[in-house]
Structure 1
């Protein structure tokens, strides 16, 4: 292999390797467990995060690069997933998901980034469906149109079908954001800039909303209403998640 062909091969591998981020820095106090919430055991014996890893590998292969944003009791997560990469949110007890995602995007390589909240138990088919948009390098938010609860992040769309509003305060929401999203290589810098600007206690959705408004970022809603995805905040959420796994 010539030096130039070797460079081309490495470049190609860089492009096709999917970058995945799991946000797992928070304390998860509402569930009332001593370990970080992503290490909560499910009825099938796996932890929430192990189920996520299995789903990632099923959709993108073993070569998918997974980075975990850690904070609260980080040593337990590092011990459980030693092959992952880690980004530390040292202000995990003072900041929200916007600043965890900001740190992850700052540490990411070239290309787009798929990310998810570390407390979502979801159907393996979710990422298989989302992979088509990842391959197109299309920024997206996965959504569930069968539920529009007041306390959840809701969304509306504009005339061309892209996300217009995205927050807990949206009126007339079309559905809920699931917590599994992707930012394209072309939009990543804009989203990072907005995440740097938002308040410490903002969710990452605020950064997305500002990038839509100010940077004309086009965010596609990917409907997964026919698949399961449960964000585990309370004991009853865990019970519901265990019905699926």
Structure 2
């Protein structure tokens, strides 16, 4: 079975102040954010990787730019957050595990290379960066055994930030789908992961990429920083 990969790209991205969906924002090397994601996916997993993109705001512009992938439509993109986009994508996926990423992350191609060993073990993981811990980002703590414990923007004493690239194993996917179905529409998908950890015993390993770059582009200054790497 080919690897299933989801890109969450339904949001309006209003903080960046562009008319197009944020994943279509052009980078300094001429590619869009989403194009560099596609390039990184193909480099790590080959042409057999199955990409499904969740679209909403100005969906036709993304479909036109990337006509050769599968799509899931979040018709309530202006009323919901990433929890509901991911829920739709997981329900539409096949039986295996799913790798997913936010559609606004510019990242080092080696990040996905590092993920291969986790995916081959079918081990759920959250990609993290311990180099900085910003108040406005999703932060995390770990258990005594080293698995993810808390995961949200309100975590206190966080030891790093979540990057926005994650994998749910085939055995854990059912629990995550159930928990995403419970959370509020405005919750991020991390809330579903937290509940799956607490109530279903899901074990999420942190995959540390602190030595590589990964920039989630929310504001103009984030885009400037991302362009220092590409």
What interval of TM-score do these two structures reach, taking the shorter chain for normalisation? over 0.9
* Aligned partner (choices 155, 166, 174) of residue 189 of structure 1: 174
CA offsets 1:194-237 (integer angstroms, 9 cap, x no match): 00000000000000000000000000000000000000000000
Within 2, Cα distance between the matches of 1:150 and 1:29? 20
Residue 110 of structure 1: how far off its partner (Å)? 1.0
Q: Aligned partners of 2:96, 2:121: CA distance in 1, in Å?
A: 12
User: Could you tell me how far apart the structure 2 residues matched to 1:105 and 1:233 are?
Assistant: 25
1:126 is matched with which residue: 87, 94, 111? Answer: 111
Runs ≥4 residues deviating over 3 A: none
Aligned CA RMSD, in angstroms, stands at: 0.4
Aligned pair partner of 2:193 in 205, 208, 211: 208
Q: Equivalent of 1:222, from 191, 207, 213?
A: 207
Secondary structure of residue in 2 paired with 1:197: coil
| Counterpart for residue 4 of structure 1 | none
Q: Matches of residues 4-153 of structure 1 in structure 2 within 5 Å?
A: 14=1, 17-153=2-138
For 1:81 and 1:132, how far apart are their aligned partners in 2?
Answer: 28
SS at match of 1:169: coil
In structure 2, C-alpha distance between the alignment counterparts of 1:146 and 1:43, rounded to whole Å: 24
Normalized per residue, the structure richer in helix is 1
Shift of 1:184: 0.1
Residue 48 of structure 1 deviates from its aligned partner by: 0.1
Q: Indicate the residue corresponding to 1:199 in structure 2.
A: 184
Post-superposition Cα deviations, 1:73-107, rounded to whole Å, max 9, x if no partner, equal: 00000000000000000000000000000000000
For 2:95 and 2:39, the matched residues in 1 are separated by 24
Which SS does the other structure have where 2:52 is aligned?
strand
Q: Which has the larger radius of gyration?
A: 1
Distance 2:121 2:43 in 1: 19
Deviations 1:96-142 (A, max 9, x none): 00000000000001100000000000000000001110111000000
Unaligned runs of 5+ in 2: none
Report the 3-state secondary structure (helix = DSSP H, G, I; strand = E; otherwise coil) of the residue aligned with 2:162. Answer: strand
CA–CA distance in 2 between the matches of 1:160 and 1:235? 39
Paired residue for 1:7?
Answer: none
CA distance in 2, matches of 1:65, 1:79: 18
Q: TM-score, normalised by structure 1?
A: 0.94
CA separation in 2, counterparts of 1:74 and 1:132?
A: 33
C-alpha distance in 1, partners of 2:145/2:164? 23
